[in-house]
Amino acid sequence: MAEVRLENVTKSFGKLTVIPDISLTVPDKSFTVLVGPSGCGKSTLLRLIAGLERPTSGTIRIGGDDVTDDEPSKRGISMVFQSYALYPHMSVARNIDFGLRISNMPTEEREKRLAEAARILALEDYLDRKPSELSGGQRQRVAIGRSIVRNPKVFLFDEPLSNLDAALRTQMRVELAELHHSIDSTMIYVTHDQVEAMTLADQIVVMNKGRIEQIGSPMDLYDTPASVFVAGFIGSPK
Ligand code: ADP
Ligand code: MG
């Protein structure tokens, strides 16, 4: 059970209040997509959930537990970024299971998780290659593989496809939807691509200036946008 809840969370950097007061429930196993203009606080919100930033005030719960003061490694969360750095000198397999090796996981369990991630991501035939021998989409899959092997309760994605070309983005979108079906995790996904949001989301959260403008299913937002801002955002061409 990995519902994520933010209760009256605020975040300021010095005098700049980026998130004035957000309360949000991300249901267990949902695919929740955060959208909103650049600078509205999407990455900050993910970083707060991951524990990479601490809220100025408010409470963050994962699976009901108050994790507000927990270290990132204690939260059962994994984050995939837009710019993912793979280790160039290591094989795909070592890139994926590196985190498990340094945590001294028993070999048998580590190999099981690596094989499972490779299967889910269709990387079985590439495990011995170096990152430089992969396509952009395959590299991004390796980055996602690193997260999968850690068995997180919650996946956070910060615009993971925005460096890929349009054809690859379409393919990865399909793969992410399949990933969500094959591993029962809660996913919180930031994008500024409406098509991505509309096709992937169970629930879309539209943010503006650190506040939530509207939350709903893709159809709710499309049919009954709560404000001109939402209508403009959902309806605007890419
Ligand atoms: P988004 O991901 O929606 O583009 P961000 O969460 O990255 O937005 O940023 C929201 C605002 O917070 C921006 O004005 C940004 O400059 C500011 N901000 C983010 N991180 C920091 C930081 N560590 N120190 C100061 N300001 C920050
Ligand atoms: Mg961002």
Lowest mean per-residue pLDDT among 1-10, 82-91, 123-132: 82-91
Banded pLDDT at 68 (limits 50, 70, 90):
very high
Query: How do residues 179-188 score in pLDDT, each as one tens digit?
Result: 898 888 899 9
Give me the chain's average pLDDT, please. Answer: 91
Short-list 209, 232, 208, CA closest to 221? 232
| The 3-state secondary structure of the chain, one letter per residue | CCCEEEEEEEEEECCEEEEEEEEEEECCCCEEEEECCCCCCHHHHHHHHHCCCCCCEEEEEECCEECCCCCHHHCCEEEECCCCCCCCCCCHHHHHHHHHHHCCCCHHHHHHHHHHHHHHCCCHHHCCCCHHHCCHHHHHHHHHHHHHCCCCCEEEEECCCCCCCHHHHHHHHHHHHHHHHHCCCEEEEECCCHHHHHHHCCEEEEEECCEEEEEECHHHHHHCCCCHHHHHHHHCCC
What is the distance in A from the centroid of ligand 1 to the CA of 61? 22
- Rounded average pLDDT over 3-8: 98
Short-list 87, 85, 67, CA closest to 76? 67
For residue 236, pLDDT beyond 80? no
Query: How do residues 122-161 score in pLDDT, each as one tens digit?
Result: 899 999 999 999 988 888 889 989 988 988 999 999 998 8
What is the distance in A from the centroid of ligand 2 to the CA of 140? 18
Half-sphere exposure of 24 (CA within 13 A, CB side): 29
More confident position, 74 or 164: 74
Nearest ligand to the CA of 42 is 1
More confident position, 83 or 86: 86
Half-sphere exposure of 98 (CA within 13 A, CB side): 17
Banded pLDDT at 84 (limits 50, 70, 90):
confident
Q: What Rg do the C-alpha atoms of the chain give, in angstroms?
A: 18
Q: Return the number of other C-beta atoms located less than 10 Å from residue 167's C-beta.
A: 9
d(CA 178, CA 20): 35
Query: How do residues 19-65 score in pLDDT, each as one tens digit?
Result: 999 999 999 999 999 999 999 999 999 999 999 999 999 999 999 99
Question: What token pair was written down for 14?
Answer: 């010095």
Residue owning the nearest CA to atom 5 of ligand 1: 41
Residue 29 CA, chain-centre distance (Å), reads 13
What is the distance in A from the centroid of ligand 1 to the CA of 104? 35
Residue 137 CA, chain-centre distance (Å), reads 16
| Closest ligand 1 atom to Cα of 47 | 6
Share above pLDDT 90 across residues of the chain, in percent, rounded to a whole number: 65
What is the residue type of 207?
A: M
Share above pLDDT 70 across residues of the chain, in percent, rounded to a whole number: 98
Q: Which residues line ligand 1 (CB under 6 A)?
A: 13, 16, 18, 36, 38-44
- pLDDT at residue 237 in the model: 54
